[in-house]
Structure formats: C-alpha cells, structure tokens
Amino acid sequence: MQDGEWVHEKWQFPGGELKFGESLEAGLRRELREELGIEVNPPTSPQLVYESIRSYWHGILICFFVEVKQHRELKIKLNEEASEFRWFKLAEIMKLDTLPLVKDMTKDADNVSS
C-alpha cells in the first residue's frame, strides 16, 4: 500500500494505532477494514514484533499473518490514507521506496513462513 503525501509517497503495510481498550485482534481488523475495505479471518498469534524509536514517535509494531475472507472476489477500497495498493513478490519489495522497517519486516516474515 502506498501512502499519500503525508508520508512522502512511500510503500508500507496497512496498519495503525490501537484505540484505548481495543484488543490487538480488534485493532487489526478495524485497520484493515478502514484502510483497505477488507475483512479477515481470525489472525494467527503475532508473528513479528519490532520497536521503532524516532525523535517524534516511539512505537511497538506487531505483525500478523492474515487470510482475507473474500479472497476470490477481493475488491480493495482504499481510504484517504493511501493513494495506491498493489501485490508484490518478495524481490520486488526489496527494490521499492519504502518506509523504515518494511524491507526488514518482509524478509523476517518470509523466514517465519518458510
């Protein structure tokens, strides 16, 4: 998913912040519904966890593997946070202009799923 102007047109994964009192699964489902218009089956346990510290932000990134419910008729409906959505092969992701951690997360996810 490529985000709009506010993150400098870089590719990244869909996601976002939890709302107060929201479970990880509920937050994951909400973000995918809001950003892509998709529903997913119950996710696996968190597969990867990263800590990201910037001068303006400190976050814990928790990555899940999910299966889209309507995968045969998948229709992505982007919200205002993204300008484009595409599927990529692993080698293609490594050549993209991405936000920090996207390439590391992709490599790590490939190792976990192998």
- What's the rounded mean pLDDT across residues 13-40? 92
- Summarised one tens digit per residue, pLDDT across range 28-79 is 999 999 999 999 988 888 788 888 888 888 888 888 888 888 766 778 888 8
More confident position, 50 or 2: 50
Task: Classify strands 58-63 and 2-3 as parallel, antiparallel or unpaired.
Answer: unpaired
Superfamily for the 2-113 domain = Nucleoside Triphosphate Pyrophosphohydrolase (3.90.79.10)
Q: Where are the domains of the chain?
A: 2-113
Question: What is the pLDDT, as a whole number, of residue 27?
Answer: 94
Among 2, 99, 114, 83, smallest CA distance to 50 is for 99
CB 52 within 8 A of CB 59: yes
